[in-house]
Amino acid sequence: MTPILAAHQLEKTFGSVVAARDITIEVPPKQTVGIIGANGAGKTTFVNMITGHLHPSSGSILFEGRDITRLTSREITRLGISRSFQVAQIFPSLTVFGNMAAAAGIARIGHGGTWGIFTPLHAPEVTAAAEAAIDLFQLSRYRDVQALVLPQGVRKLLDIAMAVVSAPRLLLLDEPTSGISIEEKFDLMDVVMSALKSRDITILFVEHDMEIVERFADRVLAFYDGTVIADGTPKETLGNERVQTLISGTKLRTHRAEGQRA
């Protein structure tokens, strides 16, 4: 089976600073991959290279067997890769429906539609796509609510729904539970994962919350100092001694606790 995503020996430098080095991974279709690592570990650099917001200094990126290494972010989106951001990228003055309709209209133009910038947001195709996404992400009760006043968790859902309206086959999520309360985080991720898997979307998500990673990822990549130091099931990666020491802090906390008991 051809991987939906393959990165080979990716490296990204900024002058003398190496932000990513020797990243080689393959992701099969429909897999859910969690990406963990401390701040500055290279996670965001990796995501930005996949989505075309940064070009690698060396190495290659293939999407469904096609080389996308030097394509622009817009070209990559048109091929079927989308992303959400840590801070929700929404239109605060529009309602939830207005945001979804805007995203649907932009997606239509990006995929070769004949509409212009002034295409009405109530055009049948736009309305149908917007309503379908609203239902898929369980946002119906907020349909006519202005985005500015939405709870943080709902803003996150809206942002992800807007990324999905273009019908991507690969979606990258940047810290989907950032800023979400402990009480809300599992419910939010249940909705997100159910929606994405119902459309057979391959998922890569950056996350600091190890409980979320352990519960929702099929596979976990651990980044440290610009490279991948562990790649396996959640149990394998989160149980890795280097990961526990350098990233999750589990090993350090255990040692401290043992020292206190002694």
What would the pLDDT profile of 46-77 be if each residue is shown by its tens digit? 999 999 999 999 999 999 999 999 999 999 99
Q: Which CATH number is correct for 1-80+169-262, 3.30.465.10, 1.25.10.10, 3.40.50.300, 3.40.50.2000?
A: 3.40.50.300
**In angstroms, what CA-CA distances link 35 with 23, 111, 163, 210?**
13, 29, 19, 10
Q: pLDDT tens digits for 122-172?
A: 678 888 999 999 999 999 999 999 999 999 899 999 999 999 998 999 999
Predicted TM-score (pTM) of the model is: 0.88
Average pLDDT taken over every residue of the chain = 89
Q: Give the residue extent of every domain in the chain.
A: 1-80+169-262, 92-167
pLDDT tens sequence across 84-122: 877 778 889 999 999 999 998 887 765 544 444 445 556
The DSSP code sequence of 126-185 is HHHHHHHHHHHTT-GGGTTSBGGGS-HHHHHHHHHHHHHTT--SEEEEE-TTTT--HHHH
Q: What is the mean pLDDT of residues 233-257?
A: 79
